[in-house]
Each structure stands twice: as structure tokens, then as C-alpha cells.
Amino acid sequence: MIEHSSFSDYLVFVDESGDHNLTQIDKQFPVFVLLFAIIRKDDYTGKICPDIQKFKFKFWGHDEVVLHEREIRKPRDKFQFLNNKTIRDLFMDDLNTVMINLPVTVIAIIIDKLKYIDRYRCPVNPYDYAMEAGLERVYKQLYSLNQINFTTTIIVEQRGRKEDRELELAFRRVCDGSNYLNQRLPFNLLMTSKASNSIGLQLTDLMARPIGNNYLYPDNHNRAFEIIKSKLRQDRYGNTRGWGIKVLP
């Protein structure tokens, strides 16, 4: 059992956009994005969760709906009312306001799958590769916040028994020292189901695809990315490449 005083002040939520299939690649979205959202616990309980709950109360009357980027982009089921343009505009304005005010630090790993398979003869699983690169940067961010002497929980969504087992093995390998930093990482993995209605995971889901789209189509207007851009981890000069966004290979 871990002592309560040994936990850090932060949570890290992880979600993905695209898939890590290297044999059948979606020509419209040939990337895999793994996004890490670093959130201070006080901000999560005091601001983020209440803001999202109020947002859900306004449009559904309850907070049991799970926000999902795909269902907002292509409305169906509980999001079908978004086919009404007037309501959709109001919904998006309110959601954008929530995201603008979101106190979070974002790290996104983008794997360009076509370049990836062209570079490596026997490429490793993109999810594992992205997880390692992301955890290294999360560690560096928490180091800057004086949190590395405490345990930080990394929260991911369950994907299936086989996939979860493979993820846990890769996670343990990286945290045990098999990483670019060559040191143990003070992280604890928590895998939870979509039914848990985790607000942190819903937020990462909303942010992952816009980052991938900006990489693929940088000249297209991307309001979501413009909002997210201010949340990206950056160096002291304001640079995000390699800090908040890492493109592999």
C-alpha cells in the first residue's frame, strides 16, 4: 500500500486518436496520436469537473453522457441534436469556452505511420513507441514541478484484455528504466473503462484528433487546435516542437 503523502499533486490522463495498425492505413488520417494531459488535482476537482458537469447539465439535464469527439463531429445517438445548426453553434461556443479556460499541460506524440514503416524494417508497436516518448516528457514536466519524488497516476482507457496486458507490460518496461532517460519513472498505471465517465479521459479524447489534423493539414482552419496550442508544453522561449508535440520518426 502506498502512503497517501507519497502521491503527487497531479494526474495524467492518456487517450489516442487514430489506430496503431501498420498494415491497413487510413489515407485520410495516416497518423497515430497519443495525448497526455497533465492536470493538477486541485484544478481537476475545483474547476474542471464542475465546469464539465455544468456544461452537460445545460445540454442534457444530467452529467451521465460521455463526451466523445467522433460523436460530436458526426452527431448520432445522444448527440443527434447537434444536427440542428443553431443548437450546434451554441454547443460549440460553450465547449470552446470550457476548453479555453482549461488548466492543463498537454503533451502529444504523433507517429506518421507511412514514414514510420518506411524508416524501420521491423517497427515496434506505435502505441508502445508513443507511450515511451510521452512518459519521458511527462517525467520532465513533473520534474520541473518538483513532483518526481512522489507517485503520479497515469490513467488510460481500457481497450481489451489482450491490448491492456500488452500496454501494462510496455508501461512497466518503460517505468523500470528502459527509456531514453535510463532511469525509473515514478508512475502508477490505472486502466479504467469508458463507463467510468472519466472527465479527464473525455478531455484528452477531445484534444487528440485536432492535433493530428493540424499535423496533416496545417493550412486548414482548425479552431480546436488553436485553443489547444496554448496548452502545449513548451520551452522557455515558447517552442512546443519536441516539448508539447513530438513527431516520430
C-alpha cell at 135: 512518459
Residue ranges of the domains in the chain? 4-51+104-248
Residue 41 near residue 11 (C-beta atoms within 8 A): yes
Task: Report the interhelical angle of 126-144 vs 161-175 (nearest 10°).
Answer: 50
- Domain 4-51+104-248 falls under CATH 3.20.20.20: no
Question: What tens-digit pLDDT sequence spans the chain (249 residues)?
Answer: 555 579 999 999 999 999 988 999 999 999 999 999 999 999 999 999 999 999 999 999 999 999 999 999 999 999 999 999 999 999 999 999 999 999 999 999 999 999 999 998 888 889 989 999 999 999 999 999 999 999 999 999 998 888 899 889 989 999 999 888 899 999 999 999 988 999 999 999 999 999 999 999 999 999 999 999 999 999 999 999 999 999 999
The 3-state DSSP class for residue 245 equals strand
* pTM reported for the whole predicted model: 0.95
C-alpha cell at 218: 496545417
**Model pLDDT, residue 124:** 86
**Model pLDDT, residue 3:** 52
Distance of CA 231 to the CA centre of its chain: 12
C-alpha 65/C-alpha 62 separation (Å) is 8
**Model pLDDT, residue 163:** 86
**Model pLDDT, residue 40:** 98
Rounded to whole angstroms, what are the CA distances from 80 to 38, 48, 77, 95, 194? 31, 25, 5, 16, 20
Residue type, 126: P
Residue type, 73: R
C-alpha cell at 76: 448520432
- 76 phi and psi, to 5 degrees? -160, 170
